Amino acid sequence: MKKNLQAIRGMNDILPNEISVWQHVENILREVLLNYGYQEIRTPIVESTELFVRTIGEVTDIVEKEMYTFLDRNGESLTLRPEGTASCVRAGIEHGLLHNQIQRFWYQGAMFRHERPQKGRYRQFHQCGIEVFGLKGPDIDIEILLLAARLWRRLGISNKVTLQINTLGNSACRARYREALVTYFEENLNLLDVDSERRLHTNPLRILDSKNPAMQDLIACAPKLLDFLDEESQAHFSGLRYLLDVAQVAYTINPRLVRGLDYYGLTVFEWVTTELGSQGAICAGGHYDGLVEELGGQATPAIGFAIGLERLVALVSQVSEFENNPDAYLVMLGDEALAAGLVLAENLRNAQPQLKLIMNCNGGNFGQQLKRADKIGARLALIIGEDEVKTKTVTVKYLREDRQQENMSWEKVVNERIKELYLL
């Protein structure tokens, strides 16, 4: 027997019965982003591998073990994008959109990371992200946090997410902190696990992010970056905290929040939930003021975040139900009814573009057609039989309400708003 082909592990189909909540979330995202003046940017799914290595950092989980990298037919190393920031910066520099300009971009699309799949963690997942260029903050920091907070309100999940913030300081104080951290961990070399030992001289900040229970005490006693901040970094952070208070956004400071990508400095943050098991980060981001220059552009401050849409959709599904059933199903009995019905259906669609109307196809008797209408959850059956053709009428049968059926003229059906028929 032939084996059925299946989707790749960790890469999911989103089926029609799941799509309503996705569309609801995507519509609200678009509306809010437009409302804050963000412009959509679409970049390719595949980029040169070097872009991600230089942006995300050589000694990060993503670059070390999670990228989908392959040689194309010309022998060039390409990678399926694991995130969207790198591509936005690349596109911004390439098209001259960043130098001396203020840009507010947003994007949405599939991202790819070869992680171990589990609930909320996939190999193909979707992000909606924003990237702002040309603004130092902290006013822009509060803007994007308020934008996120508005999204949660609009989606009815405000009480399920909390904000954690931290600062990584500017590059000067990060360098000093890094030294202190390396000294501290070197003094405790025997307590480091293999991963942390490997990171000690390449990316010591990431050791703070270790989930290994055996290392937690060691990490808890490590020097704190907050004690190494210089005046500029301190002012930025306290400025943001002041604005968060003014805007009444609740937050906690998480000194261990270092993020898994190397490009960050100053503010970093995550919106987290406890409702989805271990994969609790819904939205994450921060400043990356050095990246544009590092990739060959003029020095440009930048900040952004990305929302994991699978996680957001899972949360929204907990609080609301979505249905996408048709309003009406057109039942047509016989050739003359079919001829009359399809003209009526087109007229109805002209007059009522919001109406979800399904026309019976493939014939069938009355019982069979009604069964199809019922199976797809239609609210109404619009029935045209021989009598209705003669009298130029439709019989409206209510499939979800205990209500007497009605007969009405074609004209009335077209001009009456069908949705209002069953809302009355």
Binding site for ligand HAM (CB under 6 A): 83-85, 113, 115, 121-122, 125, 127, 129, 131, 260-261, 281-286, 288, 304-306, 308, 310-311
Between CA 259 and CA 182, with CA 287 as vertex, the angle to 5 degrees is 45
Nearer to ligand HAM, 305 or 410 (CB): 305
CB of 10 to ligand HAM, least distance (A): 8
- Minimal CB distance residue for ligand HAM: 308
Proportion of the chain in helix, strand, coil states, percent, rounded to 5: 45, 20, 35
Nearer to ligand HAM, 144 or 328 (CB): 144
- In this structure, are strands 328-332 and 380-384 parallel, antiparallel, or unpaired? parallel
- Using DSSP's 3-state secondary structure scheme, residue 106 falls into strand
Nearer to ligand HAM, 38 or 125 (CB): 125
CB of 63 to ligand HAM, least distance (A): 12
CB of 86 to ligand HAM, least distance (A): 8
Task: Give the pair of three-digit tokens for residue 261.
Answer: 């990508």
Rounded Cα–Cα distance for residues 26 and 81 (Å): 21
* Alpha helices by DSSP H, 352-405: 366-375, 386-391
CB of 62 to ligand HAM, least distance (A): 7
Q: Give, as one character, the DSSP assignment of residue 65.
A: I
Nearer to ligand HAM, 57 or 308 (CB): 308
CB of 125 to ligand HAM, least distance (A): 3
Do 40 and 342 contact (CB within 8 A), yes or no?
no
Q: What is the DSSP string of 187-231?
A: HTGGG--HHHHHHTTT-GGGGGG---GGGHHHHHTSPPGGGG--H
CB of 153 to ligand HAM, least distance (A): 19
Nearer to ligand HAM, 290 or 304 (CB): 304
Nearer to ligand HAM, 111 or 328 (CB): 111
